[in-house]
Structure 1
Amino acid sequence: MSKYIKSEVKTCANLLQEFKQQAQPRHAEKLRFIGVGDKDVYNISAPFEDEGQLVIAGRVESRDSEHSEVHFFVEQNGEWAPREGAPVFKLQDPFFTKIAGELVLGGVEIFPHPTLENSLSWRTVFLKGDKIASLTEFAQGPDGMKDLRLIELKDGSIGMLTRPQGEKGGRGKIGFRRLPSLEQLTIEEIEKTPLLENQFIDEEWGGANEAHLLANGLIGVLGHIANFDDEGNRHYYPMVFAIDPETGDCSDIKLIATRSNFLEGPAKRPDLIDVVFSGGLVRKQDGTADLYAGISDADAQKITIEDPFLDYEN
């Protein structure tokens, strides 16, 4: 991992400059979702197998609301339709992993803020089961924390990525630690997770969206880095980096796509036009990968990129 130890904090501007010198993503494609009325489907997971079917979990929401549900969709004639009989969860931004042979699904639950009137707070909720139909809640993250992610490591321990905000994390920084097992996934353990060093300047923020166990035992992290411009518009960029779970060392962040690589589409609000939310990555045998992403908080697309984790495996 020594060749990947980071040198300095890279800002969104630095990363954009580097990204423009690389081979650009291609074959952007809108995913068409049906069966949800006039609601948007965005911030999707990558497809995963459940009971022999490929399934996508997606955030389903009215354009003028933050109150969303997670639905499960299966492909029918080139469109994604709600899976018959599947549960619906009152969550945002679904994600999944497999731990000890079980499906672990997570999402963000919103609830009235305990002290600020007419405001919402949020927490990450985890469910598990042998299949979607049997998912039950088993853990919650701290109030105010999104982007909590888990990955089963080669020895059966759990790699945990956190994202505190406020006194510890500012606008949002990524933390990492190992847990012996899922039973240790408690709010106390999450809150004492150390931050990765020198990843974001204080004016910018980021989070992990999905973790991949790489062939050499490193953790490949798919995430996002974000900032505000002078007008208060948000800019979210999909990125990757690698962590050595033995030492906690991590590589520099690198961007893997920008909004301009995707097709045009709607936005939830004008300040969200330049938002790409990394949903999941499917690595392929030919050295490419499909990035599934939420676009502008109103749309879902996928795009083909060079497999960004091959560098860390070589």
Structure 2
Amino acid sequence: MTRSPAKTATCNELLDTFYANLRPVHVEKLVFSGVGGRDVYNITAPFLHDGEEVILGRVEERDSEFSQVFFFTSGEDGVWVPREHTHTYNLQDPCVTRIKGELIVGGVEVITAGDNPQRIVSWVTQFYRGYRIDSMRHFSSGPGTMKDIRLIELQDGRIGVLTRPQGDRGGRGQIGFTIIDSLDELNEQTFLEAEILQNQFVREEWGGANEAHLLSNGHVGVLGHIACFDRLGKKHYYSMVFSLNPDTFETTPVKIIAARSDFPIGPGKRPELQDVIFSGGLVRGKLGRAVLSVGVSDAEAYRIEIPDPFAEYEV
């Protein structure tokens, strides 16, 4: 059985704790070129490929939900540019990990109405694999309307799968978890049958996983988001973490690690998305620090250096 904290904290309760604990941060805005003036946001953390630092980002017109995922590299001036001769994907919200040395890239494909190609009626998470960026192939699709599916290679070589059920099982959005032996088992049944982690979000709120880290004790450090509506119907998204024991499915309490207030005032895609940040990825560094990559207000991309949020789970 899943064991979790007895009391589930609300966004506001978690925010009270977050703001009561000041921490030193360093914030950096990422600058992009070569994308025709479109917004780049919801970036992944950087990763090395053939000695080159690469990130993936969602590239989109301000007034559209139809996006492309680009691979970017950083030039000498610090500006991120599309990687040369590299395929782009008609997806939203990219994610990346490695399983047994193989690069795994995911993103959300929007599905449009047959009689109106401008009307989005559903979405599907798509996964690609390959040892090189230039030779990726599609290998799995998530169930309809399920975002925030993430994969991680566990300490024993098996693969942990984080899901986000909604509706009858998950309400506005819960987090599920299951373990498979091979990527060949990554199919719709696997996603749909993942066990829901209990007592993470109150009924009126929701969340999801955005990246998973293997901790030194074999547990899974989950980077994700928790979200809620206010009384005026505006959305609020915060970056959060928790730790998951893959043997018992026991979880630590959700902890907010970043909020929109950490970043400068800037443009948003729509007014109701102003207080939204997307947890793209985290790079753990030395001396107890980490760098979090985020999308801000569905319009910009930032990095913020913070205290390593997973360190306490390894004690």
- How does the TM-score come out when normalised to structure 1? 0.96
1:110 aligned to 2:110?
Answer: yes
Match of 1:155 in 2: 156
Structure 2 segments unaligned to the other structure (5+ residues): none
1:118-267 equivalence runs, <5 A:
118-267=119-268
Give the direction of change, closer, same or farther, for the CA distance of 1:268–1:249 in structure 2 (3 Å limit): same
Q: Deviations over 1:195-219 (max 9, x none)?
A: 0010111110000000000011000
Structure 1 residue 87 displacement after superposition: 1.0
Aligned residues of 1:30 and 1:263 also touching (Cα < 8 A): no
**One-letter amino acid of the structure 2 residue matched with residue 109 of structure 1:** E
Query: Identity of paired residues, percent?
Result: 53
Distance 1:292 1:113 in 2: 33
The total of aligned residue pairs comes to 312
SS at match of 1:104: strand
Q: Would the aligned equivalents of 1:218 and 1:244 in 2 still touch at CA under 8 Å?
A: yes
Tell me how far apart the structure 1 counterparts of residues 91 and 254 of structure 2 sit (CA, whole Å): 28
2:49 aligns to what?
A: 50
Q: Which amino acid aligns with 1:301?
A: Y
Distance between the aligned counterparts of 1:83 and 1:219, measured in 2?
31
AA partner of residue 252 (structure 2): S
- Contact 1:25 1:303 (8 Å CA) reproduced: no
The 3-state SS of whatever aligns with 1:16 is helix
- Asked whether the equivalents of residues 128 and 139 of structure 2 are also in contact (C-alpha less than 8 Å), the reply is yes
| Structure 1 position 279 matched with structure 2 position 283 | no
> Is the 1:25–1:261 contact (alpha carbons within 8 Å) kept by the matching residues of 2?
no
Letter in 1 for 2:63: D
In structure 1, runs of 5+ residues without a counterpart are: none
Residues in 2 aligned to 1:272 and 1:111: alpha-carbon distance in whole angstroms: 22
Task: Give the SS at the match of 2:239.
Answer: strand
C-alpha RMSD of matched pairs (Å): 1.6
Q: How far, CA to CA, are the matches of 2:88 and 2:116 in structure 1?
A: 29
Paired residues of 1:222 and 1:280 also in contact (CA < 8 A)? yes
- Residues 278, 142 of structure 1: CA spacing in aligned structure 2 closer, same or farther, 3 A cutoff? same
CA distance in 2, matches of 1:115, 1:190: 30
Structure 1 residue 152: Cα displacement? 0.3
1:28/1:301 contact within 8 Å kept: yes
**CA–CA distance in structure 2, aligned partners of residues 246 and 113 of structure 1:** 42
Cα drift, residue 7 of structure 1: 3.0
Which aligned segments of 4 or more residues in structure 1 are displaced greater than 3 angstroms?
113-119
C-alpha contact (below 8 Å) 2:110/2:120 kept by paired residues? no
Contact 2:200–2:254 (CA<8 Å) still a contact in 1?
yes
